Structure 1
Amino acid sequence: MSRPFLKMNGLGNDFVVVEARSAPFSPSAEDVRAIANRTNGVGCDQLVLIEGSDTADAFVRFWNADGEEIDACGNGSRCVGLLLMQASGRDEATFETKAGVLTARRAGPTQISVDMGAPGLSWTDIPLAEAMDTRGVELQVGPIDAPLLHTPGCVSMGNPHVVFFVPDVDVAPVRQVGSLIERHPLFPEGVNVGFAQIKARDRIRLRVWERGAGLTKACGTGACAALVASHRRGFVDRTATLELDGGDLHIEWRASDDHVIMTGPAQIDFTGVLP
């Protein structure tokens, strides 16, 4: 049967979104790779599937472009929140993911806020292969006596993140180090690799090498993880603007309930039918 889809993006991080509440869809890893292929397929960073739920507005699943299913996707969550609110006419939507139940709210004409829940900060939450203080783990890139990068922070936002702090992210070896660290033995489930430049107490410049997708224009969970990792080291306050290649995200790590709130744009690019 033909399968309609929506092409969406959040700050240039792009998605193929498929509605599967009325007609089940179970893509294989090969299907996902074919859909995500930018030469012969539709092309996307992630595939997003909206399924039925008995307790929320929907159950949402995410796959990276390499065909691996993942538990969480920040920019994709904003896109789903937009769709569910458009369908219901309400200014709030809740949806289940493998990382937990998320709540999305309208934050302006083009802005969506998503409560991403509390970050995981234990080494078992990431997870790491051995016990370490996740404020600054024992990991370095380059010569032992003069490493290029070292002592990154680690955070789980429903998916694993490692955050290196760099003086200038625009000249940092994001592609080389990202591809090297993504499958490092310290991270048994792989890891998203962030490179954060602290510009002020309320501003971070960030680039992210995403596990299974490579360098993307924006990573929502990566922005959340960078704010948390930076605050834990005392570099920034609990609220900051994250400057990504695709645009800005506003991230707040609330002291009241430990939840991370991500606010940014989401938009529909076009519709189509999967081949």
Structure 2
Amino acid sequence: MKYQALGNDYLIVDPSRAGGTVLGPEPPPEAVRLLCDRHYGAGADGLLLGPLERPEPGTPVPLRIFNADGSECGMSGNGLRMFALYLAEHHIEAWRTGTPFTVRTRGGDTDVRITDFREGRVRLGMGRPRFASAESSEGKESDRDSGVAVPVAGEGPDAVVTVTDLHLGVPHTVVFRDRVDGELAQRLGPALAWHPRCPEGTNVEFVRVHDNRTLEVVVWERAVGPVPASGSGACAAAAVAHARGLVGGDVRVRMPGGEVDVSVARDGRISLTGTTQEVMRGVLSPSLREELADRGTGSQPSGRSGT
């Protein structure tokens, strides 16, 4: 099955169903890359492997998340919303009516509630962001208020970029600019995402403050590149803007693929609300299944972590 959230699309492979999955319990990176390839496979930004056990009310539902490059990641706000809708549609009918449940990923547990099943609207509790720290002349302080100057291979305003680093399931780097667009992301995204200071990579959010309730965001993900939207990226942008006093606790985040709502509570916890949609259901051809099964031999991880 394939779902999309604001243009960010994932394949869902459900090993809990009878017959299991051709990917096996440990999907080889080569197999994931083939399945997500838009020319030779089914095509997607990533893969959701789950539920790993048959879902039961009151028990966290285990999920593994992979990006199109074959790397595994700990958190995806868009992916979790898609998975939540899938669970309500195909496993636990009570979850369609707003009964809360929990999804367990490598990045931790996420509280989930479907607020409108027909519209595909899902609310996630994303937890508290962990801001990075930077050395300053006055000692160690959080970089969320002032940011850190990072030299990159550019000229003029691109020679040194002020960024704010934080972790929200996966690492994020937020950059504020008076104007954000795809050209800016293409120019600075790769240099910041794989800067020497970030050996495991980081997802980059370019942010413009429209007003105290609205942000415009363009995202460059470390394992994918430009994406139309990112749920965790929207939360990272809102968290930094709120910490700097640029926006209030309720923020509308506009991205090329659409909008999500982010709320920052007094204790710093962040919640994300947005829509998702099932795109298609299908069966892989015997030839593709055979090739996927063969991809495990001699394959190596990409070495880059996911979004």
Say whether the fold is shared (TM-score over 0.5).
Answer: yes
Determine the structure 1 residue equivalent to 2:38: 38
- The one-character-per-residue Cα deviations of 1:198-233 (angstroms, maximum 9, x if unpaired) are 100000010100111111111000000000011122
How far apart are the structure 1 equivalents of 2:211 and 2:249?
12
How far off is 1:78 after superposition? Answer: 0.4
Determine the structure 2 residue equivalent to 1:61: 64
> Would the aligned equivalents of 2:36 and 2:42 in 1 still touch at CA under 8 Å?
yes
Determine the structure 2 residue equivalent to 1:127: none
Change over 3 Å in CA distance of 1:137–1:207 after alignment to 2: same
How far off is 1:122 after superposition? Answer: 3.5
Change over 3 Å in CA distance of 1:237–1:82 after alignment to 2: same
Partner secondary structure for residue 283 of structure 2: strand
Change over 3 Å in CA distance of 1:66–1:143 after alignment to 2: closer
* 2:142 is the alignment partner of 1:133: yes
The letter of the residue matching 1:121 is: F
- The one-character-per-residue Cα deviations of 1:99-157 (angstroms, maximum 9, x if unpaired) are 11111112223211011111112449xxxxxx873311231446687546621111211
Determine the structure 1 residue equivalent to 2:280: 270
Change over 3 Å in CA distance of 1:112–1:171 after alignment to 2: closer
| Structure 1 unpaired stretches of 5+ | 1-5, 125-130
How far off is 1:173 after superposition? Answer: 1.6
Once the two structures are superposed, the pairs formed by residues 1-275 of structure 1 within 5 Å of their partners are: 6-22=1-17, 23=20, 25=24, 26-50=26-50, 51-52=52-53, 56-86=59-89, 87-90=91-94, 91=98, 92-108=100-116, 109-110=118-119, 111-123=121-133, 133-135=142-144, 136-141=147-152, 146-147=157-158, 150-170=161-181, 172-255=183-266, 257-274=267-284, 275=288
Partner secondary structure for residue 222 of structure 1: helix
How far apart are the structure 2 equivalents of 1:148 and 1:107?
45
Partner secondary structure for residue 225 of structure 1: helix
Calculate the TM-score normalised by the size of structure 1. Answer: 0.89
How far off is 1:188 after superposition? Answer: 2.2
Partner secondary structure for residue 173 of structure 1: helix
Change over 3 Å in CA distance of 1:123–1:85 after alignment to 2: farther
Query: How many equivalent residue pairs?
Result: 263
Considering only CA atoms, is the larger Rg found in Structure 1 or Structure 2? Answer: 2
The letter of the residue matching 2:41 is: G
Partner secondary structure for residue 174 of structure 1: helix
The letter of the residue matching 2:129 is: P
How far apart are the structure 1 equivalents of 2:206 and 2:160?
10
Q: Percent identity?
A: 31
- Say which is worse superposed, 132-141 or 10-19, in terms of deviation: 132-141
How far off is 1:94 after superposition? Answer: 1.2
- Say which is worse superposed, 19-28 or 238-247, in terms of deviation: 19-28
> Would the aligned equivalents of 2:148 and 2:163 in 1 still touch at CA under 8 Å?
yes
> Would the aligned equivalents of 2:209 and 2:246 in 1 still touch at CA under 8 Å?
yes
> Would the aligned equivalents of 2:153 and 2:191 in 1 still touch at CA under 8 Å?
no
How far apart are the structure 2 equivalents of 1:143 and 1:272?
45
Partner secondary structure for residue 63 of structure 1: strand
Higher helix content, 1 or 2: 2
- Say which is worse superposed, 208-217 or 57-66, in terms of deviation: 57-66
